[in-house]
Chains A and B, each alone.
Chain A
Amino acid sequence: MITNGYSGLAAFAAILQIALGVVVVWFGIRALRQRAASNPCVADEADAESSYYFRFVVGLTLCGVVIAAWPLFYLVLQSYVGQWPGVMCIDGVVRIGASSANSASHLPGLVAFMEISKPALVFLAGSWLVVHLLMQSQRGGRLQRVSVATMLTFGLLGVLDGAAEGAYLVIPKQEQALATGCCTVDSQESVFANAGPREPSGRGPLTVAFVAACAWVAFWVTASIRRIRMSQAAGYRLALAAVGAAALIPLGAIYLREVAAPLFLQLPYHQCAYCLVGVAPEALVAVGLFSLATFAVGWAVIARGLDRSNQAIALPLLRFARFGFLATLLMLGVRMATA
């Protein structure tokens, strides 16, 4: 185990995440059992109310922990750079253990799992919060089943992710080594496999596709905002924004590696998004805003899908999404202009 400030903090966050996740899952199961029994008596009302607030506080704390754990995970990986000869950035760290036969062979798989589970958890945290706020505003408990299902999924994934993080931190890895440096692997799947002299300014078909997709989503989000503000159904406009946002997730990931990372690193031939953490951390603001804007569209769709009359939740989310996409595009524009 490599111990430093970041890994200590990450270990604490992982333990907290597992503990809170277990409590959240337990609350979810208890709520399901209560629904199955379906004989609430008046004497239990006070108990139910205190349990409701406790559940909310635990869920909210878990939201905070999973949101903090996402960037912390990359800071931990960045802090491991330099532990092995030939490892220049996180790309080398995530490949440690790939050729190992012992427990370290699980390290690349654990990292791959957490790279998906961490953003998924942030999305689930937001979804749970949206459902919870909707349920509170309705007072009828119509959304209780949805809330319990979201809570159970959130809690379960939280436990799994916390366990994966804990395992990653604990598995011995210092005696492992890369067969070649992280930038000198000969695999065709290497991040540099497609490297070759290209347009250094970042202008190309992938940029056009990315900018067009962002503009598409921002346009339909703005159209949805107008409709919702006038208390009208956003209908197909919000659906088109959601389709665009869903398409932007894979497109954004490819664009980040192929174009945005070389652009922000000012190394037109260096396609490694991980290097942004150490060399150009300002790009992470764009990555964070873009991710949250994409999620916000999804949260707004959930809010409107569950309660068409509710404006208080969907409107700020859509406004934030529009802001996030515009900020990402502006930042890219400035970077391209100054590259």
Chain B
Amino acid sequence: MRARGLALEVTALVVIALLPAFADLVRGSTSRCAQDGVAVDSNYAVYARYEGDVELEFCGVSCADLWMRRSGKPAIAVEVTDCVDGHRFAARNAHFVKIYVDWRESVPDPIRVFASREEALAHIREFGGELLVGPRRPLGTASDLRWDRASGDR
């Protein structure tokens, strides 16, 4: 009777211990934003690389920007996703457009990312919005600032 009880207890312990692994199998692998935990849409993803080969993924520019301001540690590299063709490129080369239309249903935040300045301006002409420059430009890192000063963009 006592052996049976012990066997039951051990079985229950094993089942409970394996729950996280089982839940991972059922859930599959979904990328989640390091800032607010929502599922990341690869069309708007932002990637920040830190020392120790740690790469964080964010659902959008706003979350990544907030995270970087809060963490206080500068990222080694920041990459964004071009909203025109979905390719990844360095954030220092990006053009950020703040849109004014209601964005909540479809995209993670009101900031769109363009690799080309012409495309950013064309988007503003067609849908409205503003180009974020100077102190309002998001995702600034030390290397970005050096690049911006050198190019005279800020």
Contact = CB atoms under 8 A, between A and B. Distances in A.
Interface centre among B16, B23, B35, B63 (most CB of A within 10 A): B16
Interface in B27-62: 32-38, 50, 54, 56, 62
A330 B37 contact: no
B13 interface: yes
A84 B102 CA distance: 14
A200 interface: yes
Contacts, number: 90
30 contacts: A183-B35, A183-B37, A193-B70, A195-B70, A195-B71, A197-B54, A200-B54, A265-B32, A265-B37, A267-B33, A267-B37, A268-B34, A269-B35, A269-B67, A269-B71, A270-B34, A279-B37, A280-B23, A281-B23, A282-B19, A285-B19, A286-B16, A289-B16, A323-B13, A326-B13, A327-B17, A330-B16, A331-B16, A334-B18, A334-B21
Interface centre among B20, B21, B34, by most chain A C-beta atoms within 10 angstroms, is B20
B37 A264 contact: no
A196 interface: yes
Contacts of B119: none
A338 B70 contact: no
B66 interface: yes
Contact of A197 (B38, B71, B104): B71
B109 to A, nearest CB: 9
B132 interface: no
Interface in B57-86: 62-63, 66-67, 70-73
A184 interface: yes
Contact of B38 (A88, A281, A282): A88
A193 B72 CA distance: 11
A183 B22 CA distance: 29
A181 B71 contact: no
A337 B19 CA distance: 13
Interface of B: 9, 12-13, 16-24, 32-38, 50, 54, 56, 62-63, 66-67, 70-73, 104
A8 interface: no
B37 A275 contact: yes
Interface string A8-37: 000000000000000000000000000000
Nearest to A89: B37
Nearest to B62: A184
B32 A327 contact: no
Q: Is the interface of A mostly helix, strand, loop or mixed?
A: loop
A285 B63 CA distance: 30
Interface in A159-214: 181-184, 192-193, 195-197, 200
Contacts of A235: none
Interface residues of A, number: 39
Contact of A331 (B20, B24, B71): B20
A330 B21 CA distance: 12
Contacts of B20: 264, 282-283, 331, 334-335, 338
A327 B37 contact: no
Contact of B63 (A183, A323, A338): A183
Given A184-B66, A196-B72, A197-B71, A331 B36 contact: no
Interface in A235-277: 264-270, 272, 275
Given A85-B104, A183-B63, A266-B32, A272 B73 contact: no
A267 B17 contact: no
A338 B20 CA distance: 9
A305 interface: no
A334 B70 contact: no
A42 B56 CA distance: 77
Given A197-B54, A282-B20, A327 B13 contact: yes
B70 A279 contact: no
Contacts of A326: 13
